[in-house]
Amino acid sequence: MSRSEDTVLGVILAGGGGRRFGGRDKAFISLAGQSLAAHAIGRLAPQVEALLVNANGDAARFSSFGLPVVADTIENGGPLAGVLAGMEWALKNRPGTGHVLSVAVDTPFFPQDYREKMMRRLHEDEAVLACAVSSGRLHPVFCLWPVHLAGELRMALVNEGLRKVRVFINRYACARVSFAPRAGQDPFFNINRAEDQRAAQERFIRRG
């Protein structure tokens, strides 16, 4: 990239408990012959300079992907704790990184121009953050975060007990980046239940 602040670390947020999926690890739910983690990696890796997985528990279960696996450093911190883990990993291990681009592991159809559109609108709006929108709905875990906010995010999590992503991003100038449905389907469709898994499988079949 032409500017160091445009260097991006992709962070796949895979720390959720999968409570509505019987406690199963959603990262390894199968879809069209691949795990959800594999789908997320395949879509995000070409869009970023580096990639890691944010997940708690035994990191060895992700070893076949050959990626860094970083656990939350704040207990029960939700997606914000995962974003913070990515930011702090970048500051320590890739100091030239300007931004973290987050995605949820259970969202297998997120756009292949996700990073491009987010970064472009961030600069056009001269914003601090960028967050994805589809069909009028904000998707708070699909955000482009400057790593220089790591200290402020840690303070919000530790000192305030903040857990809601929307509350944190609303503190800053945030570009809302719209992504249109494709073939009538929301690109940020996520898999929370068995019926969502079946719907996603049918979507893959229709696409061939």
Give 150-162 pLDDT, tens digit per residue.
999 999 999 999 9
18-44 confidence digits (pLDDT tens): 455 556 789 999 999 999 999 999 999
**Which residues, including other chains, have CB under 8 Å from residue 204's CB and lie 6 or more apart?**
31, 32
Question: Does the pLDDT of residue 16 top 70, yes or no?
Answer: no
As a whole number, the mean pLDDT across the chain is 92
State the CB neighbour count (10 A cutoff) for residue 164. Answer: 12
Q: Which domains does the chain have, with CATH numbers?
A: 4-207 (3.90.550.10)
Question: Does the pLDDT of residue 9 top 50, yes or no?
Answer: yes
Alpha helices in 49-208 (DSSP H): 78-93, 114-124, 150-159, 165-169, 194-207
Distance CA 63, CA 39 (A): 16
Alpha helices in 3-61 (DSSP H): 36-44
**Which residues, including other chains, have CB under 8 Å from residue 40's CB and lie 6 or more apart?**
12, 14, 103, 104, 105, 107, 108, 110
143 DSSP β-pair partners: 131
Question: Model confidence at 81, in pLDDT bands (50, 70, 90)?
Answer: very high
Backbone angles phi, psi at 103, to 5 degrees: -140, 155
82-104 confidence digits (pLDDT tens): 999 999 999 999 999 999 999 99
